[in-house]
Chain A
């Protein structure tokens, strides 16, 4: 039997206007209206840059999504993955009908309910029970449906004791539990879930993930799931859609999609070039670039932990008294915690006048996979910092050796040493 297509997204694009909405709004509106009267196309639809937040665009209109096409079969669980600002949430907003597409059409059979952010529409003055009804109705349930599941919802939330207390007296965790419980017992044909797992304590997260698994696998519901938690995506979804700068770059099996996404999708930016501005080009120094890669690899390739990683600092020292300067890095993990600092002077390499291409090598099996941030200090006479920039460059270390699908959770810690083990009998 051929699976039935339950959702079809056809040539969907979404345009946003950047900057301040306000100045010039009226004139653009009048211009649009004038074109419409004469039966012409909207003049602002022809322009617009792609959605890349790192570059400076020419137009004040931007395409958050451009020509998105995909179809979802009934019972499929799809993971939508992509970097921050790639357009995932915009896509979900269009699917959940919160915002309308600029062009294209979305067709579907059955109710779509979205779990974009839990607790939407809770009223602080109402009791937990009243809020279950209100929230359920907002999410598209009828009073009868809610009443039939009320006990289950209360039980799942674990808030029995407080169910007749106004929600404003709840702790934030309790509010989230209650809200998730309502959403978990929704019965739409298509369920959209965006990053909800980032809430609640560990126990509840586990419960929530288990419930999701039930929904998607046990009940055969169609689910569209957006998360940065690759372990969750991997265990829940069967198919993955990778979005990059507003365009679907890959639509494949979930393993393939995750591998593609983790490898950076071809444009790893583990390096940074600096414009010769007043900040980076002074009388004392001129900072050219900072970049990281595996030794023997290219800069565009992803950095893996199981090979030597080199950090290249390209800097010109213009001051005649070049020997008075050293460079120091501070390394931070993705939580912003300071891990350690390192400097060229400590390790016996000195700066020269003119161009320096200083390399620092991290041994293999040193970094745990994850994202790291470097702060750069140019220090004069070992006490005065003449240049400081926090998070000047970031780099991502991925797991080189690990087979995808074995264990997708993150291993603990930030270093990954290999030790000498022996089994002495």
Chain B
């Protein structure tokens, strides 16, 4: 026993691991698995359906149509010179990416308990793969948005992107990381307290109404100045607003808001990562 005290060990499992060790090297070793999970998610989602990947496009289109009818035609929300349909499509595409990241990562531990109970791999691979496969879905939905964009240009509508569109990739990363970060926090807590999975179910839907998806942020400031702070503090409201600003040159943009979103996201993401890392060692006993 004693002669092994000095031996170098490649791996060590301890009940109390360093809280800040994230084992990122190990995640890299499993990169093939990450890509295979992404492939699995994309390939198998619409197996045995007639329309197949078209479902990726149908869902945002129909939602945009309904939103346009209800919020713009009936409720009369003003979107300025931007066609309301395009306004809604831009918001929904962005919101969908965030919400599907959040929804699908928030039950990582619960829905994969069978697999996680049998074999070890860095658990973070699972939510990472869903975020990446959602990114592919988002890319397809962005294509349909661009198609309508060109259509509106051709029929002579006055639409143009803002120069800040070059920063749009940053915004995509913010959406993905925020969804993933919140999802990891929730999934870690769901292992013990199942209540949260019910909360997420309708909470995300309610959050949409607070995130300026179907109205410009300026509208809430104008109509409900006392309660506008709810949306002001919600980073997703800014993300959606900035998305529209970049893509449609409509809405407000401030560097402060952008920085706020980025800092908020980074903080949430790291908290999520740490909690997730801590949970992955013990969840199998409580899930």
Q: How far in angstroms is the closest Cβ of chain B from A383? A: 50
Q: 10 new A-B pairs (CB below 8 Å) besides A98-B118, A101-B14, A140-B121?
A: A98-B116, A98-B284, A100-B13, A105-B13, A106-B13, A107-B13, A114-B119, A116-B118, A126-B43, A134-B36
Does residue A366 face the partner (Cβ distance < 8 Å to B)? no
Does residue B205 face the partner (Cβ distance < 8 Å to A)? no
B4 adjacent to A8 (CB under 8 Å): yes
Question: Inside 8 A of A112's CB, which chain B residues have their CB?
Answer: 11, 120
Taken together as a complex, chains A and B put the C-alpha atoms of A20 and B118 apart, in Å, by 22
* Pick from A71, A101, A125: contact of B47, CB under 8 Å: A125
Taken together as a complex, chains A and B put the C-alpha atoms of A142 and B32 apart, in Å, by 6
Does residue A334 face the partner (Cβ distance < 8 Å to B)? no
Question: Inside 8 A of A272's CB, which chain B residues have their CB?
Answer: none
18 pairs of residues in contact across A and B, judged by CB atoms under 8 Å: A5-B7, A71-B1, A71-B4, A100-B15, A102-B15, A108-B11, A112-B11, A112-B120, A114-B120, A120-B118, A121-B115, A123-B40, A123-B44, A126-B44, A134-B40, A137-B36, A140-B121, A142-B32
Those 4 A-B pairs whose CB atoms lie nearest each other, nearest first: A100-B281, A97-B120, A137-B33, A107-B9
Identity of the chain A residue whose Cβ is nearest the Cβ of B47 in the assembled complex = A125
Taken together as a complex, chains A and B put the C-alpha atoms of A104 and B13 apart, in Å, by 9
Chain A window 11-24, contacts with chain B (Cβ cutoff 8 Å), 1 for yes, 0 for no: 00000110001000
A109 adjacent to B44 (CB under 8 Å): no
Does residue B201 face the partner (Cβ distance < 8 Å to A)? no
Question: Inside 8 A of A102's CB, which chain B residues have their CB?
Answer: 15
Does residue B161 face the partner (Cβ distance < 8 Å to A)? no
Does residue B254 face the partner (Cβ distance < 8 Å to A)? no
Does residue A284 face the partner (Cβ distance < 8 Å to B)? no
Does residue A198 face the partner (Cβ distance < 8 Å to B)? no
Taken together as a complex, chains A and B put the C-alpha atoms of A342 and B167 apart, in Å, by 87
* Pick from B1, B15, B117, B286: contact of A103, CB under 8 Å: B15
Interface residues on A, range: 35 or more
Given A98-B284, A134-B40, A139 contacting B30 (CB threshold 8 A) = no
B118 adjacent to A117 (CB under 8 Å): yes
Q: Which one of A71, A97, A117 has the greatest number of beta carbons of chain B within 10 Å? A: A97
Question: Inside 8 A of B116's CB, which chain A residues have their CB?
Answer: 98
B44 adjacent to A125 (CB under 8 Å): yes
Chain B window 229-272, contacts with chain A (Cβ cutoff 8 Å), 1 for yes, 0 for no: 00000000000000000000000000000000000000000000
A104 adjacent to B15 (CB under 8 Å): yes
Chain A window 85-115, contacts with chain B (Cβ cutoff 8 Å), 1 for yes, 0 for no: 0000000011011111111111111101010
Identity of the chain B residue whose Cβ is nearest the Cβ of A16 in the assembled complex = B285
Interface residues of B (CB under 8 A from A): 1, 4, 7-15, 29-30, 32-33, 35-37, 40, 43-44, 47-48, 114-121, 192-193, 281-282, 284-286
Q: Which one of A71, A93, A107, A123 has the greatest number of beta carbons of chain B within 10 Å? A: A107
* Pick from B8, B115, B193, B285: contact of A138, CB under 8 Å: B115
Q: How far in angstroms is the closest Cβ of chain A from B118? A: 4
Question: Inside 8 A of A123's CB, which chain B residues have their CB?
Answer: 40, 44
Q: How far in angstroms is the closest Cβ of chain A from B132? A: 15
Q: How far in angstroms is the closest Cβ of chain B from A356? A: 49
Question: Inside 8 A of B36's CB, which chain A residues have their CB?
Answer: 133-134, 137, 143
Taken together as a complex, chains A and B put the C-alpha atoms of A134 and B32 apart, in Å, by 9
Question: Inside 8 A of B13's CB, which chain A residues have their CB?
Answer: 94, 97, 100-101, 105-107
Taken together as a complex, chains A and B put the C-alpha atoms of A143 and B39 apart, in Å, by 13
Q: How far in angstroms is the closest Cβ of chain B from A405? A: 31
Q: How far in angstroms is the closest Cβ of chain B from A360? A: 46
Taken together as a complex, chains A and B put the C-alpha atoms of A80 and B253 apart, in Å, by 65
Pair count A-B, CB < 8 A: 106
Question: Inside 8 A of A120's CB, which chain B residues have their CB?
Answer: 114-115, 118-119
Interface residues of A (CB under 8 A from B): 5, 8, 16-17, 21, 25-26, 29, 71, 93-94, 96-110, 112, 114, 116-117, 120-121, 123, 125-126, 130, 133-134, 137-140, 142-143
Taken together as a complex, chains A and B put the C-alpha atoms of A104 and B4 apart, in Å, by 16
Q: Which one of B30, B33, B118 has the greatest number of beta carbons of chain A within 10 Å? A: B118
Taken together as a complex, chains A and B put the C-alpha atoms of A26 and B195 apart, in Å, by 12
Given A96-B120, A98-B120, A117-B118, A21 contacting B15 (CB threshold 8 A) = no
Taken together as a complex, chains A and B put the C-alpha atoms of A110 and B29 apart, in Å, by 13
Q: How far in angstroms is the closest Cβ of chain A from B213? A: 33
Q: Which one of A29, A101, A137 has the greatest number of beta carbons of chain B within 10 Å? A: A137
Taken together as a complex, chains A and B put the C-alpha atoms of A101 and B44 apart, in Å, by 36
B121 adjacent to A138 (CB under 8 Å): yes
Question: Inside 8 A of A125's CB, which chain B residues have their CB?
Answer: 43-44, 47-48
Question: Inside 8 A of A140's CB, which chain B residues have their CB?
Answer: 30, 121
Q: Which one of A8, A99, A142 has the greatest number of beta carbons of chain B within 10 Å? A: A99
* Pick from A17, A21, A109, A116: contact of B119, CB under 8 Å: A116
B30 adjacent to A137 (CB under 8 Å): yes
Q: How far in angstroms is the closest Cβ of chain A from B193? A: 8
Question: Inside 8 A of B43's CB, which chain A residues have their CB?
Answer: 125-126, 130
Taken together as a complex, chains A and B put the C-alpha atoms of A29 and B29 apart, in Å, by 34
Taken together as a complex, chains A and B put the C-alpha atoms of A142 and B28 apart, in Å, by 11
* Pick from B11, B15, B117: contact of A107, CB under 8 Å: B11
Taken together as a complex, chains A and B put the C-alpha atoms of A313 and B285 apart, in Å, by 43
Q: How far in angstroms is the closest Cβ of chain B from A166? A: 8
Taken together as a complex, chains A and B put the C-alpha atoms of A160 and B284 apart, in Å, by 36
B12 adjacent to A105 (CB under 8 Å): yes
B40 adjacent to A138 (CB under 8 Å): no
Q: How far in angstroms is the closest Cβ of chain B from A108? A: 5
Identity of the chain B residue whose Cβ is nearest the Cβ of A131 in the assembled complex = B40
* Pick from A21, A110, A121, A137: contact of B32, CB under 8 Å: A137
Identity of the chain A residue whose Cβ is nearest the Cβ of B118 in the assembled complex = A120
Question: Inside 8 A of A100's CB, which chain B residues have their CB?
Answer: 13, 15, 281-282
Q: How far in angstroms is the closest Cβ of chain A from B247? A: 35
Taken together as a complex, chains A and B put the C-alpha atoms of A116 and B284 apart, in Å, by 15
Q: How far in angstroms is the closest Cβ of chain B from A329? A: 41
Taken together as a complex, chains A and B put the C-alpha atoms of A98 and B14 apart, in Å, by 13
Taken together as a complex, chains A and B put the C-alpha atoms of A93 and B12 apart, in Å, by 15
* Pick from B4, B10, B120: contact of A110, CB under 8 Å: B10
